[in-house]
Amino acid sequence: MTDWNAIGDDAFREEVRRFFETAYPQELRFLPRRLRWSECKPWYLTLARKGWIAPAWPKERGGMALSPSKQIIMAEETERAGIGRMPDQGITQVGPTIMRYGTEAQKQKYLKPILDGEHVWCQGYSEPNSGSDLASLQTSAVREGDVYVINGSKIWTSMSMDATHMYILVRTDRNAPKKQEGISFMLLDMTTPGITLRPIRNIAGHEEFAQVFFDNVRTPADSLVGSLNQGWTIAKALLGFERLGIGSPRRPRYAFTRLEKVARGRGLLDDPAFADRFAQLRLDLADLNSLYGRYVDQVRRGETLGPDVSILKIWSMELYQRIAELLVEAADEKGAFEGDVDFDDEEVDVLAPFYMSRPGTIYGGSNEIQRNIVAKDVLRLPGK
């Protein structure tokens, strides 16, 4: 097995770039939407066969065990090549969670199918009345013999229409003294009878989400991860992984690349006022890269992400919005056109980053909630 960390960063970048340029389908580059599983499964399996599907996983679990700098290189080259995001929650969230909290039987059952693309995961967290206040969730799981019976609903479930499995938070004790207590973390097969999906279109008209309904869904008792009623502890750890993923420089970098194309096409880099704003965003993106690398290194060492990772999510998503807004402004009258627009022989979809950035300060826990977390749990500021 290749020790990628023993290779210099420049040589590693060249290797990754060469492979991405030759192996990734041209027709799937720079799409302004999330890829469906049927579109990206061949690429997923290509990466799996090459051993590149799980950059951060340890080698003993089939991963690359990349250093933070090389993970960032891979992310940068993924963006440079226009490679679309795959349904990756198995790799980025479920897998690390099972490694940390799951039984050996659960590790044997679930980890390899993630790597092999046999299991595609979605997240069952938010509910119609429990979004950023996730601990108020009401979807229930009641033990009946050797199964749990689940009833309730989840919403904004990204790419659930393509998922084979869901990791879900359920209330298993309604009499717990605190709302964070009495919650359990379970793994659920999406083919289980009683599950119904209703797709939701986003602002750009794409079906990326769904509301999921559970009507007496029976799942084996061994689908419970960790201890009963201790799911909030696992959820916080997994939310750390999620905020690490959301905080990745990939999205802001995607928008910045397009901003640079538009700016060059319209000659805006010669304008001192625009050049100043452009330089500030470039520096902000460099700061985000550095911050992201720090947290990636923490995960690679097997350390638990603390509440301070909320800073990463805040910075990334607000930077993403600032870049997308300047992109629309820089495009001038063409900023109102949907789809690819020509700028001095460069085709740029101006509105896609704008559309995609708008919900970024809401999903994964709104930025207002993240600021509260930082104030309370990092800065130790007094409450009301």
Write out the catalytic residue numbers: 242
Distance CA(343)–CA(261), nearest Å, equals: 8
Cα diameter, the chain: 72
Distance CA(290)–CA(285), nearest Å, equals: 9
Residue 205, CA atoms < 13 Å, CB-side half-sphere:
5
Residue 158: count of CB within 10 angstroms of its CB: 18
Distance CA(200)–CA(196), nearest Å, equals: 13
Q: Which residues lie closer than 8 Å to 121 by C-beta, 6 or more apart?
A: 87, 89, 90, 93, 94, 114, 163, 164, 165, 166, 167
Q: Which residues lie closer than 8 Å to 175 by C-beta, 6 or more apart?
A: 182
Distance CA(367)–CA(258), nearest Å, equals: 25
Radius of gyration of the chain (CA): 21
First-to-last CA distance in the chain? 55
Distance CA(34)–CA(250), nearest Å, equals: 14
Distance CA(273)–CA(362), nearest Å, equals: 31
Distance CA(113)–CA(100), nearest Å, equals: 17
Distance CA(175)–CA(167), nearest Å, equals: 23
Place of tokens 């007094």: 382
Residue spans of beta strands (DSSP E) within the chain? 121-124, 140-144, 147-154, 165-171, 183-189, 195-201, 207-220, 224-225, 340-343, 346-349
